Structure formats: structure tokens, C-alpha cells
């Protein structure tokens, strides 16, 4: 079945992992424990967390009591932040065919796809990590 928005496995792992980190704060969780909880590949989750760390969403603490922590409150982490950290920045004014110049005299979509993309962008930005956590941090 096709969906309007396809969420990659990496993006899903990111949001599930972040929810676990938020629910267990201030305790730090390591990749091994999160992967076990999510029944996911440690290697894949480590790559996902590396991207989230690079995006500034989480920080890693090394050592025996190390692990990952959120860099801010869960209600300040949007689905959009996580999505773009994993999938790249959403481009608003982009031809769906990847053309610089339209084959028609004007775009047949006449800005409708741009409006849909803007609406989706806004909706993703309004969904916060705290919406997915039991504690509603």
C-alpha cells in the first residue's frame, strides 16, 4: 500500500530511540540497550544516533556510565528536526520531475505541490517528541 509520506526505517528508529531516551532521562541510554529494546540492529542504530548527534539533537557521553542524552526538552524536538537530520532538508519549490525548465508553458501543478509540501512541513514541525513519550517531558 502506498502512503503519502514514507518514513524510512532509519527515521522510525530515530524517533523510537529518542522517545526511549526522553522517557528515561536523566539516565543515559547506550546504543546496545536501545537496540535491544527496539529489536533493531546495533550498527544501524549507531549510524542513526551519529546523525542525530551531528544535527545537535542528542549528545553522547563516553565511559562506563555513558550513553546518549537529549540536548534539550522533548517538547522542543520536532518530527521535522529528526526527519531532516536523517533524510536531508525538505526543499519547498522543487519540480517533481527534477527539471530546471518545465516542458509546458507553465507548471501543470501551478504551485499546488508547493502548498502541499509547505503544509506537510508545518505539520511535521508541530509534532514534538514529547507527543510520543509516556511522561510527556
Cell of 108: 501543470
User: What's the pLDDT tens digit per position in 3-50?
Assistant: 666 789 999 999 999 999 999 988 999 999 999 999 999 999 999 999
| 8 Cβ contact list (under 8 Å, min separation 6) | 86, 87
Domains of the chain: 9-89 (1.10.10.10)
Q: What is the pTM of this model?
A: 0.83
136 pLDDT more than 50 = no
Residue 32 CA to residue 78 CA, distance in Å, equals 25
Amino acid at each position: 500500500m502506498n502512503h503519502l509520506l514514507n518514513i524510512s526505517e532509519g527515521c522510525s528508529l530515530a524517533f523510537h530511540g529518542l522517545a526511549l531516551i526522553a522517557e528515561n532521562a536523566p539516565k543515559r541510554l547506550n546504543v546496545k540497550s536501545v537496540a535491544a529494546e527496539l529489536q533493531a540492529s546495533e550498527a544501524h542504530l549507531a549510524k542513526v544516533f551519529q546523525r542525530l548527534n551531528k544535527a545537535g539533537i542528542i549528545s553522547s557521553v563516553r565511559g562506563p556510565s555513558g550513553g546518549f542524552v537529549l540536548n534539550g526538552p522533548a517538547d522542543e524536538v520536532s518530527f521535522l528536526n529528526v526527519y531532516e537530520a536523517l533524510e536531508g532538508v525538505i526543499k519547498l519549490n522543487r519540480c517533481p520531475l527534477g527539471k530546471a525548465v518545465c516542458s509546458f508553458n507553465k507548471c501543470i501543478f501551478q504551485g499546488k505541490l508547493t502548498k502541499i509540501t509547505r503544509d506537510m512541513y508545518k505539520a511535521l514541525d508541530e509534532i514534538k517528541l514529547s507527543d510520543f513519550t509516556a511522561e510527556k517531558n
